Chain A
Amino acid sequence: MDSDRRRDSRSWDWDSPQCRAQVDEIFFRRHDYIQAGSTEHKEFWTFFDRFQRFKIKKDVSESGAKEDIEDRRKTGTGKVDLGLPKEYDARYRINVSVCTRDVEERLGKSEHRGRQRSSGPGSHEISDCRLTLLHFLDFSQRQSFGKLAKLRREQKSLPIFQYRDRIVELVRLNPVVVVAGDTGCGKSTQVPQYLLSAGFNHIACTQPRRIACISLAKRVSFESLNQYGSKVGYQIRFETTRTPSTKLLFLTEGLLLRQIQQDKTLSQYQVLIVDEVHERHLHCDFLLGVLRSLLADHPDLRLILMSATINIKLFSDYFNSAPVLQVPGRLFPIQVIYQPIPPDEQASRLEKLDPRPYLRVLQGIDQRYPPEERGDLLLFLSGVAEISTIQEACQVYATHTRRWIVLPLHSTLSLVQQDKVFDTSPPGVRKCIISTNIAETSVTIDGVRFVVDSGKVKEMSFDPKAKMQRLQEFWISRASSEQRKGRAGRTGPGVCYRLYAESDYDAFAPYPVPEIHRVALDSLILQMKSMCLGDPLSFVFIDPPPTASIQTAVTYLKEQGALDSRAELTSIGTLLAQLPVDVVIGKMLVLGSLFNLVDPVLTVAAALSVQSPFLRSSQHNPDCATARQPLQSNHGDPFTLLNTFNAWVEVKGERGGGSRKWCRRRGLEEQRLYEMVNLRRQFKDLLRSHGLLESQSSAPSGGDRGQRRERLTERKKLHQLKRDHEKQESSRRKVLRLDEGQDGEFSSGSDAEGAGRGKKDKEGAGQNMDIQEVKFKLRHNVSELQEAASVSQDMSSRQQALLKLLLCRGLFPQLALPDEHNSTRKDSDQVFHTRNKQGVVIHPTSVFASDPEVLQVPEDATREMGPERRDSTRHQLLAFVTLLETNKPYLSNCVRVPALQALLLVANSVDSNADCTRLVVDGWLELELREPDEALKVLSTALTLRAEWERLLLAQLGQSTMAGAEVQRVSRKVLEKLSEGLVRFLLYTEITYSLRRLTAFQTQNLYIGPQSQSEPSHTKDVNPLFPGVEAKPDPIKGGLRVSGFFNYNCLVDSKDLYSECLRSFWTCPNCDLYMPLTPLERMQHEASCRPAGEQQQPEEEPEGGKAASSSMSSLTRVYHCDVCNEDLTLTSTEILKHKRQHMYSAK
């Protein structure tokens, strides 16, 4: 009331909020078209101010011009009279009217009655406001229509537009159509829209990259006027905008393959578009193969392949001469200048790149083109090291001339740094973007006018012999060369400098080598097996991979236990095929689900599946190094990652958005941690859906209703934040500072990064919440994560040992042996050997690179046993995730494990001599144990543990296949006992041995080979007590196959051949047996003899036995028993058993 009275005394003032509020009461009520408080409402008042100013100006200038009109009017009267008003008024040009009469009247009446008659807007004010509102409405209509018209104009101007009807017709008439068009023709955005508007529903369009799925979905939904609906959506690994009303879905090739795995007919789609087929990614080639066979059974399905104009015939031919529609691209003319690097500036293999040829191009541009003519430079180099060399040199030049901003672009940069290439440079300054081939296809930067092409690319290849990936530098193909050139002509005419001769260009390969010819095919083969596509060798690929490559993969999968000896999927293999990860990571997950170690294993598996969160650039920053210190674990990199993730979750729980700063201080890319947490969640869901993890028992943990409501409101708020973010995202490009590139990013990038991001932080500190944080909160339950994190943070050394073993078994056979002379070498020269590759080194990012001592056998624990033999109880091996050769072969993500213990528990084959003092593991590692007695003991413990582990794992997997049904879980007690046993074996086995790698020559004469007269003395006393496996002579190595992995006495030994028959007295620790036994007899007794009070579970025995005998049926032969006078089909061991039976009965 008080305020009312005060208002009374004033006259009408448009600037007063009170006056405006009164007008709002008339025009912008709660149900009106524009409501007070909305964005439009705010815009209206801004418009109002501008409009009033404009009117005043206009009134002044137009006051004299009025009479003029009257004169001209007369001339028009001859023909039809349009009946237009005599006097011009801009109001007549607006086709909208606003009726507020009713409100005005009501207000008028109420104010008559009220005391404040003189206050409130008069009719003049109201009509002023109404007029402005009309103009405002007209203005916003024009604005929106302008956008629509522009959009349609752009669509029309695309080269592909004139083929619109032709495309739709071809798709109607043919099951497969190839649309080939070069960059800028508009195929990716337009073809799906043409099909949509032609009435096709349920269209899927695959992309090789996740980013493209998101950006295309955004663009196409905008263009199809559905940016706020969900008609067009995308689906990538962790995110989807798909709803039941989605008609067009962009998704990755990998994801579509997974969908086919689930639904063989792919009935959810009517049309499939496979985009960028010319890029020949592994998944894409495979997808085409799968679709090819799928089409045969589904004549209604439509397939469209979209490609650049590269090798089109290949695709058309593969699909039964499918029709091809070729669309010209829209490129501006590009001048090509060949500037081969003179011989004295060519770097040899080991030298740094000479920057002079590159600097000359920058200088040339500065001389030839005035700075006002805008246009940036994109420079293609092969790798990160090359980029930083050239960046350094260019930066010096840029600082000097002040006409360039130098920016690197490669995938190991932080995302913020990557994003800078899209920002604009200030006038008179050009961007010089130095990039890997990431800018060739994956990243498109507008405004590039100059391209410098080094002609080189680093490409991953796979060496099946060394089981090693290799990143090597190659000349690019002509197709890539053209693609790089094309980047200069996207927005205007351009220039492409090729730093090689035209004759070099002519000698380039026409196309890049397809991925399927370059990479390990393990995952592919596994997926093929699970999709029942038959023999991979006979599958019709568009361009079949080398046979050797497939065979290597099959062998590897067998070693991994994913395929059995007949190359069929094992039960673990079936499961691994469902997991969208590397086989080794998948194995870890499955193994982890058995023991009570799911949380840490989930985290490690996720961490090993994404790029490292540790930024390379921060590695040499002492502050980061110090801050990282507490996260590091000298057990191995996976443990460091685990610590990092857990600490991050801790921080997120306590400080929420503060985690960004926390990460920055440690030189961590937080995006990777977000990826980890998402992936971790996905893994957890996968394990749960395969019955390997109990479904959450704590369903509504959200407590009482109030808390739940609170969480609901919070979620609502978060969703709103997410939407707001999406809205403003597009208008975010900022102008770069001239000193942007030179903050020393090339030397110690973290400072620059810190500074740059710090600024952004401050800007957005208040309301502008970190969008990643919002998504994180929407997706995850922080307290649940925290709980999981604290569980794995407080891991005991026993749990840690067990986790190590699981990782090791997952990673097996990826093991490396430290070179025996490492202790005499410098830290940086430590050498390791894998089975297939000698002389590998640890990647500098690994914890073992900075702390190699923990891998060495401590001096005091060794005993020199002559020149070639060092005995110790402490030998260690490294299990590693990747072996990648760049300039050297590097191991990354390593864990150290006790050698003998780990080998006996995970190796595929352990071969022994007669007294088991000499063991050869997987044909490449030799262990010599000092004490035969200890040797026997450790072996038989390992045998027992492994048998039990295998049994429980199978039981667990068996359960998962029967998910849903009432199945008995592997009992907790049994599991605990096993893990206890494994841990004790790992930590407390004290046995002295030597460890070395066998030379090629030694491996040749390793085995005694099959014995011609199968000595019955060997097998006579064999009592096949190892569950599921029967001892029998090994047909290749000789000796006796005691269990799936252990082969007794097959090694050619310098010692006498009879020690296997030697019996020595021995007391069983479990029962009271005391008698002379051969080594084998003793082991067998140990395997069967359990401590008193702990009986074997008899019910499980027959199952395993049956499975084993059935799988061994191929080994049986017909045996005629004289006693029974019958023909029996038996294995050789069974024959022996049978004979013995008669012996006993005769007694």
Chain B
Amino acid sequence: MEQTTIEQKTFACQLCGLSSPFTYYGQKPPNTRAIVLLEECFVTQDPFSPDKEKFLVLGSTCSLCSMCVCVGSDCSLFYTKRFCMQCVNKHLDQFPHQIQAELAKKKHSSKAAVS
């Protein structure tokens, strides 16, 4: 069934501006059975799957600053909790070195792409 149009709620990332309607907010999206989310998420039906029961997590709130961020790797990072990229950079030292290295590498390559 199509969703009936009750004023669609829209999720928008406060960092990159990505926006998309969402259908569920919480840790247990419908029809997920054994699956539980480890954070409260903005969830929508996966638009790229023909299966109507597949969900897609759009984003959630940063566990430190409560900013609404998307799950894109430029905007946030999940490591036991959700951190927005601003908070990650602020507390970079507390993250394991694997993550630090990864971020450094990414920064480097994106800079290279720009120049």
Task: Give residues in A with beta carbon < 8 Å to B.
Answer: 27, 31-33, 38, 40, 68-69, 72, 75-76, 79-85, 87-88, 92-100, 103, 137, 141-142, 144-145, 147-149, 152, 156, 225-231, 245, 723, 727
Q: Is the CB of A225 within 8 A of B36?
A: no
Q: Is the CB of B48 within 8 A of A147?
A: yes
In the bound complex, CA of A1067 to CA of B65 (Å): 114
Q: In the complex, what residues of B have CB within 8 A of residue A145's CB?
A: 56-58, 70-72
In the bound complex, CA of A76 to CA of B37 (Å): 28
Interface set, chain B 69-106, CB cutoff 8 A to A: 70-72, 77-83, 91, 93-99
Q: Is the CB of A225 within 8 A of B20?
A: yes
* B107 CB, min distance to chain A CBs, angstroms: 18
Q: Is the CB of B18 within 8 A of A149?
A: yes
Q: In the complex, what residues of A have CB within 8 A of residue B99's CB?
A: 88
In the bound complex, CA of A92 to CA of B77 (Å): 11
Q: A141-B57, A152-B18 are in contact. Are A76 and B94 (CB under 8 A)?
A: yes
Q: In the complex, what residues of B have CB within 8 A of residue A83's CB?
A: 80
Q: Is the CB of B36 within 8 A of A99?
A: yes
Q: Is the CB of A97 within 8 A of B35?
A: yes
Q: Is the CB of B35 within 8 A of A96?
A: yes
B81 nearest in chain A by CB position? A82
Contact of A95 among B2, B57, B58, B72 (CB under 8 A): B57
Say yes or no: is B110 at the interface (Cβ < 8 Å to chain A): no
B72 nearest in chain A by CB position? A149
A152 nearest in chain B by CB position? B18
Q: Is the CB of B71 within 8 A of A141?
A: yes
Q: Is the CB of A80 within 8 A of B56?
A: no
Say yes or no: is B14 at the interface (Cβ < 8 Å to chain A): no
Interface set, chain B 45-61, CB cutoff 8 A to A: 46-54, 56-58, 60
Say yes or no: is B115 at the interface (Cβ < 8 Å to chain A): no
Q: A88-B98, A144-B56 are in contact. Are A230 and B32 (CB under 8 A)?
A: no
Say yes or no: is B68 at the interface (Cβ < 8 Å to chain A): no
Contact of B33 among A33, A80, A148 (CB under 8 A): A33
Q: Is the CB of A148 within 8 A of B56?
A: yes
* A131 CB, min distance to chain B CBs, angstroms: 14
Q: In the complex, what residues of A have CB within 8 A of residue B72's CB?
A: 145, 149
Q: In the complex, what residues of A have CB within 8 A of residue B38's CB?
A: 94-97
Say yes or no: is B109 at the interface (Cβ < 8 Å to chain A): no
Q: In the complex, what residues of B have CB within 8 A of residue A93's CB?
A: 77-79
Interface string of B5-30 (1 = CB under 8 A from A): 00000000000011111000000000
Say yes or no: is B113 at the interface (Cβ < 8 Å to chain A): no
In the bound complex, CA of A76 to CA of B72 (Å): 26
Q: Is the CB of B96 within 8 A of A84?
A: yes
Contact of B37 among A31, A96, A727 (CB under 8 A): A96
Contact of A245 among B2, B34, B39, B77 (CB under 8 A): B2
B80 nearest in chain A by CB position? A92
In the bound complex, CA of A88 to CA of B70 (Å): 23
Contact of B34 among A79, A82, A99 (CB under 8 A): A99
Q: In the complex, what residues of A have CB within 8 A of residue B98's CB?
A: 88
B100 nearest in chain A by CB position? A72
Q: In the complex, what residues of A have CB within 8 A of residue B54's CB?
A: 33, 40
Q: Is the CB of A144 within 8 A of B34?
A: no
In the bound complex, CA of A294 to CA of B79 (Å): 60
CB-based closest 5 A-B pairs: A225-B47, A88-B96, A76-B94, A76-B93, A245-B2
In the bound complex, CA of A316 to CA of B67 (Å): 46
In the bound complex, CA of A231 to CA of B93 (Å): 48
Q: A84-B94, A152-B20 are in contact. Are A141 and B35 (CB under 8 A)?
A: no
Chain B interface size, as a band, is 35 or more
In the bound complex, CA of A231 to CA of B8 (Å): 14
Q: Is the CB of A33 within 8 A of B2?
A: no
In the bound complex, CA of A705 to CA of B98 (Å): 67
Q: Is the CB of B82 within 8 A of A95?
A: yes
Q: In the complex, what residues of A have CB within 8 A of residue B2's CB?
A: 229-231, 245
Q: In the complex, what residues of B have CB within 8 A of residue A27's CB?
A: 34
In the bound complex, CA of A82 to CA of B81 (Å): 9
In the bound complex, CA of A68 to CA of B91 (Å): 19
In the bound complex, CA of A231 to CA of B3 (Å): 10
In the bound complex, CA of A152 to CA of B47 (Å): 13
B18 nearest in chain A by CB position? A152
Q: Is the CB of B56 within 8 A of A98?
A: no
Q: Is the CB of A32 within 8 A of B34?
A: yes
Q: A33-B53, A84-B79, A144-B46 are in contact. Are A98 and B35 (CB under 8 A)?
A: yes
Q: In the complex, what residues of A have CB within 8 A of residue B19's CB?
A: 152
* A720 CB, min distance to chain B CBs, angstroms: 11
* A11 CB, min distance to chain B CBs, angstroms: 27
Q: Is the CB of B35 within 8 A of A33?
A: yes
Q: A99-B36, A100-B34, A145-B72 are in contact. Are A81 and B94 (CB under 8 A)?
A: yes
In the bound complex, CA of A102 to CA of B78 (Å): 27
In the bound complex, CA of A103 to CA of B50 (Å): 28
In the bound complex, CA of A142 to CA of B39 (Å): 16
8 more contacts with CB within 8 A, not counting A84-B94, A92-B80, A231-B2, are: A80-B91, A94-B38, A96-B38, A97-B36, A98-B36, A99-B34, A144-B49, A227-B48
In the bound complex, CA of A583 to CA of B83 (Å): 70
* B102 CB, min distance to chain A CBs, angstroms: 10
Q: A84-B79, A100-B34, A145-B71 are in contact. Are A69 and B97 (CB under 8 A)?
A: yes
A244 nearest in chain B by CB position? B2
B78 nearest in chain A by CB position? A95
Q: In the complex, what residues of B have CB within 8 A of residue A81's CB?
A: 94
* B71 CB, min distance to chain A CBs, angstroms: 6
11 A-B pairs whose Cβ atoms sit less than 8 Å apart in the complex? A72-B97, A84-B94, A85-B80, A88-B98, A88-B99, A94-B38, A95-B38, A97-B37, A141-B56, A145-B58, A145-B70
Q: In the complex, what residues of A have CB within 8 A of residue B41's CB?
A: 95
In the bound complex, CA of A82 to CA of B50 (Å): 39
* A1059 CB, min distance to chain B CBs, angstroms: 81
In the bound complex, CA of A145 to CA of B13 (Å): 13
In the bound complex, CA of A142 to CA of B71 (Å): 8
Q: In the complex, what residues of A have CB within 8 A of residue B97's CB?
A: 68-69, 72, 88
* A66 CB, min distance to chain B CBs, angstroms: 11
* B46 CB, min distance to chain A CBs, angstroms: 5
Q: In the complex, what residues of B have CB within 8 A of residue A76's CB?
A: 91, 93-94
Q: Is the CB of B36 within 8 A of A96?
A: yes
Q: Is the CB of B35 within 8 A of A137?
A: yes
Between A83, A144, A231, A723, the greatest number of chain B beta carbons within 10 A of the residue's beta carbon is seen for A144
Q: A95-B41, A145-B58, A148-B47 are in contact. Are A228 and B80 (CB under 8 A)?
A: no
In the bound complex, CA of A94 to CA of B37 (Å): 9
B71 nearest in chain A by CB position? A145
Contact of B50 among A152, A228, A245 (CB under 8 A): A228
Q: Is the CB of A226 within 8 A of B47?
A: yes
Q: Is the CB of B96 within 8 A of A144?
A: no
* B18 CB, min distance to chain A CBs, angstroms: 5
Q: In the complex, what residues of B have CB within 8 A of residue A40's CB?
A: 51, 54
In the bound complex, CA of A75 to CA of B95 (Å): 11
In the bound complex, CA of A783 to CA of B65 (Å): 70
A726 nearest in chain B by CB position? B50
* B85 CB, min distance to chain A CBs, angstroms: 14
In the bound complex, CA of A142 to CA of B82 (Å): 15
Q: In the complex, what residues of B have CB within 8 A of residue A727's CB?
A: 50
Q: Is the CB of A33 within 8 A of B34?
A: yes
B16 nearest in chain A by CB position? A149
Q: Is the CB of B91 within 8 A of A79?
A: yes
Q: In the complex, what residues of A have CB within 8 A of residue B36's CB?
A: 96-99
Q: Is the CB of A31 within 8 A of B39?
A: no
Contact of B20 among A137, A148, A156, A228 (CB under 8 A): A148
Between A33, A83, A141, A142, the greatest number of chain B beta carbons within 10 A of the residue's beta carbon is seen for A33
Q: In the complex, what residues of A have CB within 8 A of residue B64's CB?
A: 80, 82
Q: In the complex, what residues of A have CB within 8 A of residue B57's CB?
A: 95, 141, 145
Q: In the complex, what residues of A have CB within 8 A of residue B48's CB?
A: 144, 147-148, 227
Q: In the complex, what residues of B have CB within 8 A of residue A87's CB?
A: 96
In the bound complex, CA of A231 to CA of B45 (Å): 15
Q: Is the CB of B35 within 8 A of A75?
A: no
In the bound complex, CA of A80 to CA of B38 (Å): 22
